[in-house]
């Protein structure tokens, strides 16, 4: 691997470490902050912080790029959906379940590329999908004390949206201007999340939940888990492939499980562990095969 690729790989591993920790953080504050409000805050804080960065670095003119606006709208809608669905799902399921299921986005990438006509599933990909599918089954049905969990279903939907985000962000950053895409995706994600919050509040007439002791967690999710990590992910996709990006992101559940254990004492059963290992094994097998075919 070239030295430059190593640098980009380490940057993505850093993102995985941060994103792995966010599962526990989000799980911890789901009773303190409304999911729609949390998505809104994460994006609006990221917008303000990035706008300040562009102002002091004299890069505000990059926001005039028209294609960046178009791509930002699309990615913003996707990110808004990811944050809302993931947060609602985490309110129902465990952070470990959420992390492992979300990691299945790696093998959902080739499936989505298949439907777009950019890819054909080979026997290795089909085998990988089968292994990960079985792993998800054991992971989500491995606790005898719990019944069918709708939070796991929501997380699987979120994983599919994450796969779409990986594909599109990798494609768009090679066509447009990086800073513009970053800014507009958070701007429109913030707008969409705020509109969703208003609609939800108008329909349910429920009071919007927010406790001020959640502020440090909200800032961490906004500035580190959102702005910094998404900036890094989109930045490095200018230089490495979508498949390699997905491969590195598959490390996320390992960091998430570790963080959950040390921060909240969350544990999993042997069957759930077996399911998680199957998911990681399937993803690893797929990535090794992909890299071997490129060599």
Read off the pLDDT of residues 232-252 as tens digits, 9 standing for 90 and up.
888 887 787 766 676 677 777
Confidence (pLDDT) at 151: 83
Q: What is the pTM for the complete model shown?
A: 0.77
Which residues face 210 on adjacent strands? 33
Query: Which of 49-58, 88-97, 201-210, 275-284 shows the lowest mean pLDDT across its residues?
Result: 275-284
For range 13-35, the mean pLDDT? 87
66 lies in some domain: yes
- Full domain range(s) for residue 94: 33-294
The number of CA neighbours under 13 Å toward the Cβ of 247 is 17
CA-to-CA distance for 112 and 171, rounded, in angstroms? 14
CA distance 202 to 167: 34
Whether residue 75 has pLDDT greater than 80: yes
19/28 Cα distance (integer angstroms): 14
Res 253 pLDDT > 80: no
When pLDDT is cut at 50, 70 and 90, the band that residue 74 belongs to is very high
Q: What is the pLDDT of residue 248?
A: 75
Please name the residues in contact with 160: beta carbons below 8 A apart, sequence gap of 6 or more.
105, 108, 112
Residue 107: closest CA among 258, 255, 249, 12: 249
Q: Is the pLDDT of residue 4 over 70?
A: no
5 found inside a domain: no
For residue 32, pLDDT over 50 is answered with yes
Distance CA 59, CA 178 (A): 11
Q: Is the dihedral of CA 276, 281, 282, 287 positive or negative?
A: positive
The whole-chain average pLDDT of the chain stands at 82
The answer to whether residue 69 sits within a structural domain is yes
Query: Does 224 fall in a domain?
Result: yes
What is the distance between the alpha carbons of residues 187 and 53, in angstroms, rounded to a whole number?
Answer: 15
Backbone angles phi, psi at 210, to 5 degrees: -160, 125
Q: Please compute the mean of the pLDDT values over residues 107-132 and round it to a whole number.
A: 73
Q: How many Å apart are CA 35 and CA 278, to the nearest integer? A: 30
Q: Please choose, from the candidates 221, 232, 164, the residue with its C-alpha nearest in 3D space to the C-alpha of residue 9.
A: 232
Query: 216 pLDDT exceeds 90?
Result: yes
**Total domain count for the chain?**
1
Q: 295 vs 218, 239, 241, 289, 290, CA distance in Å?
A: 43, 17, 14, 10, 9
Within a domain: 12: no
264 inside domain: yes
Residue percentage of the chain with pLDDT more than 90: 23
More confident residue, 35 or 263: 35
Range list of H helices, the chain: 3-29, 35-56, 66-90, 95-102, 105-115, 123-140, 150-172, 178-204, 215-219, 229-236, 242-249, 252-264, 270-294
Average pLDDT over residues 203-225: 90
The Cα 62–Cα 40 span in angstroms is 24
Q: What is the Cα–Cα distance from 162 to 108, expressed in whole angstroms?
A: 9
Average pLDDT of 86-105?
80
Q: Specify if 20 maps to a domain.
A: no
Contact 284, 108 (CB under 8 A): no
3-state DSSP call for residue 33?
strand
The answer to whether residue 18 sits within a structural domain is no
Lowest pLDDT segment from 125-139, 186-200, 242-256: 242-256
Q: Which residue has the higher pLDDT, 273 or 194?
A: 194
Banded model confidence at residue 2, pLDDT cuts 50, 70, 90: very low
Q: Is the pLDDT of residue 293 over 70?
A: no
Counted residue by residue, the chain has a size of: 295
């Amino acid at each position: 691997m070239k030295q430059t690729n190593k640098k980009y790989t380490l940057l993505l591993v850093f993102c995985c470490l941060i994103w792995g920790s966010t599962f526990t953080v989000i799980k911890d504050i789901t009773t303190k902050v409304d999911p729609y409000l949390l998505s809104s805050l994460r994006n609006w804080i990221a917008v303000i912080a990035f706008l300040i960065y562009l102002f002091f670095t004299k890069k505000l003119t990059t926001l005039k790029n028209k294609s960046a606006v178009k791509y930002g709208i699309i990615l913003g809608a996707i990110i808004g959906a990811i944050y809302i669905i993931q947060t609602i799902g985490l309110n129902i399921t465990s952070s470990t379940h959420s992390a492992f299921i979300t990691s299945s986005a790696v093998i959902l990438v080739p499936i989505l590329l298949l439907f777009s006509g950019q890819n054909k599933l080979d026997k290795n990909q089909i085998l990988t999908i089968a292994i990960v599918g079985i792993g998800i089954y054991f992971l989500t049905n491995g606790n005898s004390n719990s019944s069918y969990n709708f939070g796991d279903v929501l997380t699987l939907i979120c994983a599919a949206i994450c796969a779409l985000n990986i594909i599109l962000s990798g494609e768009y950053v090679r066509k447009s201007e990086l800073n513009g895409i970053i800014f507009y995706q958070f701007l429109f994600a913030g707008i969409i999340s705020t509109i969703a919050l208003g609609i939800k509040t108008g329909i349910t007439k429920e009071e919007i939940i927010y406790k001020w002791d959640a502020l440090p967690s909200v800032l961490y999710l906004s500035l580190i888990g959102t702005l910094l990590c998404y900036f890094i992910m989109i930045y490095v996709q200018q230089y490495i492939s979508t498949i390699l990006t997905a491969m590195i992101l598959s490390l996320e559940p390992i960091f998430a499980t570790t963080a959950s254990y040390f921060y909240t004492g969350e544990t999993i059963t042997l069957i759930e562990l077996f399911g998680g290992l199957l998911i990681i094994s399937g993803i690893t097998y797929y990535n090794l095969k992909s890299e071997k075919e490129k060599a």
